[in-house]
Structure 1
Amino acid sequence: MQQAEMTGSAKTERRGATLTLSLSMLLASLGTSIANIALPKLAEDFSAPFTEVQGVVVAYLAALTISVVIVGRLGDLYGLKRMQLAGLGLFAAASLLSAMAPDLTLLMAARAVQGVGAAFLMTISMALMRETASEARIGRAMGLLGTVSALGTALGPSLGGALIPLAGWRGIFWVQVPLAGLALILAIATLPADRARGKTRPAGLLAMLERRLIPNLVVNIVVAAVMMTTLVVGPFYLGLALGLKAAVVGLVMSVGPVISIISGVPSGRLVDAWGARRVLSIGLAMLAAGAFLLAILPEISGVAGYVAAIIVLTPGYQLFQAANNTAALADVPKDRRGTASGLLGLSRNIGLMSGASLMGAVFAYGAGTQDFIHAAPAAISAGMQLTFLLAGGLMLSAMAIVFAGAANWLCLFREKA
C-alpha cells in the first residue's frame, strides 16, 4: 500500500513537472511567432520603415540563437531548476519591458532580452524533461515538447491578430507577462530540486562534441533547413505560381502546423515502442519522400498535390524530432544534458537560418530572378522544383549520416584532432 502511494505521488509530481515544462516551451515558441503579425502596426505607430520594425523579430531570434549553448552550460554548472526559474523570471521581465517600451530601439532591446529568456526555456525545458520522464516514456516526453512548440508557433499569429484590435501591439506582450508568471509559480512548486553537485565541473563544449552527438547535430541542421524552406518558398509558389489569394495561401500553409500539433505525441509513443533509431530512419525517409513530392506533385495537381506532399513531410518531421532528441540525450550524463540540449537548439537555429538564406538563394536561381512579384508562374514553378529536388537530396544525405553511425564520426573527429 505504501509503495502504491509513493508511486501515485511520483506520477503526480511528474505530471506537474510536465505541465510546467510544456507551458515554458509554449511561451518560448509563442514569443517567436506572435510579434510577426504586429509588424505593420509597429511601422504605423512608430512611423518606421518595415526594415527597421523587422528588428523586433530579428533581435529575439538572434539573441535566442546566440544564447542556447551558453544557457545549457549554465544549467549544467548551477542546476537545471535554478536556471529554469531564472529564464522564466527574465522572460516575464522582458515581456513587461516590451509592453511598456516608449520607442522602437528600447522595444528591440527588450525583445533581445526576451530572446535570451526564451533560450533558457527551450534549452533547459528539454534537459529537465529528459531528467523527469521515466525511461519508458522519454520518446513520449520529447514528442509532447514538439507538439507544444508547434502549438505555440501556430497560436502566435492568431492570438496576436485577436489582441491587436483590442489592445494595440502592446497587448501581444502584456498577455505573455501573466503566462510567464504562472509558469514561474508552477516551476517553483513542481520541478524537482537540483541535486548537490560535486567539485568536478561538467565537461566543456569540445568534450561534448567528441561524443556520438555530432551526427544528431548535423542531421538536425539539414532537417531544420528543409523545413524552413517550405515556409519560405511555399507562400511564393502558392500565391504567384498557382494564383491563390492571400487568405487561401494562409489556409493552405496552416496544414503543416496543424499536422505537427496532432502528430507530436504519437511520434513520441512510437519512439518508446520501436526505438529511436528505427523511428529516426522512418522520419527521414518520410522527409525525403515529402521533399521530392513537393518538387513533383504540385506541378501535376496544383494545391491538392502541394497539400499531399505536406501530409507526408510534416509527420516525418515530428517523427524525426522525437527520435533525434531522444537519441541525442539518451547516453548523455545528467551533468551534461543542459549543454547537449543547447547544442541541439543551436543546430536547429543554424538550420533555420540556412534554409531561409541558402535555400532561398537556390529558389531565386531556379526561378532565374529575385524579382518574384513580376516573375512568370513557370519561373516560380521551376524554382520550386529545383529547390525541393535539392531538399530531397539533402534528406538522402541525412539518411546516409544516420546509417553510417556515430562511431565513424567519432573516429574521424579524433583523427583530425
Structure 2
Amino acid sequence: MAGLRLGTTYLRSREKMKSISIRGALASLSLSMLLSSLGTSIANVGLPTLAEAFSASFEQVQWVVLAYLLAITALIVSVGRLGDMIGRRRLLLIGIWVFTVASILCALAPHLWLLIAARALQGVGAAIMMALTMALVGGAVPKEKTGSAMGVLGTMSAIGTSLGPTLGGFLIANPGWQAIFLINVPLGVLAIGLVYRFLPDDRHERRADRAGFDVLGTLVLVLTLLAYALAMTLRRGGPGSLNAALLVVAVVGMGVFVFVEHTTESPLVRLTMFRNWQMSAGFVMSMLVTTVVMATMVVGPFYLTGALALNAASVGLAMSTGPLVAALAGVPAGRWVDRLGTYRAGKTGLIAMLTGACILPALPMAFGVPGYIVPLAVMTAGYALFQAANNTAVMLEVEAPQRGMVSGLLGLSRNLGLITGASVMGAVFAFGTASDDILQAQPEAIAQGMRMTFAVAAGLILAALVLGAVSKIVSRRLIAPC
C-alpha cells in the first residue's frame, strides 16, 4: 500500500514538473514573439523625436522603421532553414542575443546612419525569433495543445503591436528616445534565461542529408524580397519608374530563384513541398487575409478623421480596438482550434472577417464611432481565430526537420501581406476618394473610398474562403483510398 502511494506521488510529481516545463517553454517562446513585435511598433512613435535629435528629414528617419522591416522580410525564410540545419533552439538563442545587443547599439548610436544600421541588425535578430518561435512549438507542447499554443503566440504578437505606441510615447516623454531601445535589454536577458532553462534541445532532429546551406538560393531570395519590399514601400508604393523597375527585378528574381531551387542539390526551399495543397493554400490565405488587416490600419485614421470628424486622441482610442481585441481573443481562439479542428475554426474566422468587412463601410454613417468599432472588433476576432487555425494546420503538416523553414515561410506570407496591404489597399482608397489630396477630401468622398477599399477586402477574404474549401476537397481526394 505504501509503495502504491509512493508510486502515485511520483507520477503526480512527474506530471507537475512536465506541466511546469511546458509552461516555461511556452513563456520563452511568447516573450520572443513579444520582443520581435514590440520592436516593430515601438519605433514608429519615436520618428518625430528622432528627426529632431538627428536633424534629419522624415524621408531619412523613416529608414529607422524600414531597415527593421526589410531585414525581417528578406531573411525570415533563410534563418528558418538555418535553424533546421544547426538546431532551432541554438539559433533562437543567437537571435535573442543579436536582438538584445543591437538594441544597446541603437540606444548608443551617435549618428542616424549608425542607428539605421543597428536597427537592421536588430531586424536580423527579430527575423530569427519570428521564424523559430512557431517552429519550436511542436517540440515544446503536446500535439493536441498546438492550437492553444498558437493562440498564445498570437496574443503576445498583438500585445507587442498594441503596447508599442503607448509604451514608446511614455518612454520618450520621460527617460528619452534611447529608452525605447533599452527596454528590450532586460526582456531579452529574461528570454535567454527562459530558453536555456525550459526549451528542449532539438539538435537530434537535424537531417541526415546535411549537404550544405543553399548560399546562391538564399542570396537570390534575399535580393528578390528586398526588391519587392522596396517597390511597395518607397514613395509609399506610389507609381514611379524606380518602383516599377524594382517590381520587374522582383519578378525576374523569383523566376531565377525557382530555377536555382530546381537545380541545386540542397535547396533552401524544397519546391515539391508546395504539392501539399493544404500547406500551399495556408501561405496564400495568410497573405490575403493579412493584406485586409493592414487595410484597417492604413485607411482607418483617414476615415475616422475625415468622415467621422474625430480628433487625434479619439482616433487613437478607436484604432486601439483592433490590437486590444486581438490580444484578448488570441488564447480563446487557440482553444477553439483545438476543439473545432483547424478547418472549421479557420472557416469560422474567415466568415467573421467577411461579415465585418461587409458592414464596416455602412454602419459608421448610421451609428457613428460605435458603428466603426463593432465591425472592426468582429474582423479582428475573426483574424485571431483564422491565424491560430491556419498556423496550426500548416505546422502540423510539416516534418520536424523542416519546421524552421516552413515557419519562416508563414512569417514571410504575413509580412508580404502587411507590405502589400499598406501599398495596394492605400492606393485603392485613394482611387475611391477620387481626390488628389485625401486630407482635403469631403466626407462623402472618403466614405466612397472606404466602400471601395472594403469591397476589395471582402473579395480577398472570399477568395481565401474558396481557396481553403478547394484545398480541403483536394486533400481529401488525395488521401482517399483508391
- TM superposition score category, shorter chain reference: over 0.9
Structure-to-structure mapping, 1:24-63, within 5 angstroms: 24-63=32-71
> For residues 158 and 392 of structure 1, what CA distance do their matches in structure 2 show?
31
> For residues 410 and 157 of structure 1, what CA distance do their matches in structure 2 show?
45
Give deviations 1:184-222, integer Å, cap 9, x for gaps: 122111111123235224874123333331100000000
User: Scaled by the length of structure 1, what TM-score is found?
Assistant: 0.96
**Taking every aligned residue pair, what percent have the same amino acid on both sides?**
49
Structure-to-structure mapping, 1:289-368, within 5 angstroms: 289-368=355-434
Q: Which residue of 2 aligns with 1:176?
A: 184
Moved more, 189-198 or 277-286: 189-198
Deviation, structure 1 residue 303: 1.3
Out of 305, 316, 322, the position equivalent to 1:256 is 322
Q: Does 1:210 align with 2:275?
A: yes
Q: Does 1:238 align with 2:304?
A: yes
What is the aligned-residue RMSD (CA, Å)?
1.7
- Are the structure 2 counterparts of residues 257 and 224 from structure 1 closer, same or farther at C-alpha, using a change threshold of 3 Å? same
- SS in structure 2 opposite 1:295? coil
Q: Which residue identity is paired with 2:377?
A: I
Q: Which residue identity is paired with 1:282?
A: T
Higher-Rg member (1/2): 2
Deviation, structure 1 residue 88: 0.5
Deviation, structure 1 residue 138: 0.7
Q: Does 1:105 align with 2:113?
A: yes
Give deviations 1:254-311, integer Å, cap 9, x for gaps: 1111111111000000000110110000000011111111122123222121112112
Structure 2 contact 86–203 (Cα < 8 Å) conserved: no
Q: Which residue identity is paired with 1:147?
A: T
Structure 2 contact 42–165 (Cα < 8 Å) conserved: yes
- Are the structure 2 counterparts of residues 198 and 360 from structure 1 closer, same or farther at C-alpha, using a change threshold of 3 Å? closer
- Are the structure 2 counterparts of residues 281 and 144 from structure 1 closer, same or farther at C-alpha, using a change threshold of 3 Å? same
How many residues are matched?
Answer: 412
Moved more, 123-132 or 188-197: 188-197
Structure-to-structure mapping, 1:111-190, within 5 angstroms: 111-190=119-198
Deviation, structure 1 residue 167: 1.8
Deviation, structure 1 residue 67: 1.0
> For residues 342 and 409 of structure 1, what CA distance do their matches in structure 2 show?
23
> For residues 333 and 355 of structure 1, what CA distance do their matches in structure 2 show?
31
Structure 2 contact 76–409 (Cα < 8 Å) conserved: yes
Deviation, structure 1 residue 321: 0.6
Structure 1 contact 214–406 (Cα < 8 Å) conserved: no
- Are the structure 2 counterparts of residues 410 and 101 from structure 1 closer, same or farther at C-alpha, using a change threshold of 3 Å? farther
Out of 279, 283, 288, the position equivalent to 2:349 is 283
Structure 1 contact 291–309 (Cα < 8 Å) conserved: yes
Q: Which residue of 2 aligns with 1:414?
A: none
> For residues 320 and 328 of structure 1, what CA distance do their matches in structure 2 show?
12
- Are the structure 2 counterparts of residues 314 and 407 from structure 1 closer, same or farther at C-alpha, using a change threshold of 3 Å? same
> For residues 250 and 370 of structure 1, what CA distance do their matches in structure 2 show?
25
In structure 1, stretches of 5+ residues that fail to align are 412-417
Q: Which residue of 1 aligns with 2:76?
A: 68
Q: Which residue identity is paired with 1:98?
A: C
Moved more, 343-352 or 126-135: 126-135
- SS in structure 2 opposite 1:193? coil
Deviation, structure 1 residue 354: 0.9
> For residues 245 and 109 of structure 1, what CA distance do their matches in structure 2 show?
36
Moved more, 293-302 or 43-52: 293-302
Moved more, 294-303 or 246-255: 294-303
Q: Which residue of 2 aligns with 1:415?
A: none
- Are the structure 2 counterparts of residues 259 and 193 from structure 1 closer, same or farther at C-alpha, using a change threshold of 3 Å? same
Structure 1 contact 215–409 (Cα < 8 Å) conserved: no
- SS in structure 1 opposite 2:276? coil
In structure 2, stretches of 5+ residues that fail to align are 1-6, 211-265, 478-482
> For residues 181 and 14 of structure 1, what CA distance do their matches in structure 2 show?
20
Q: Does 1:392 align with 2:458?
A: yes
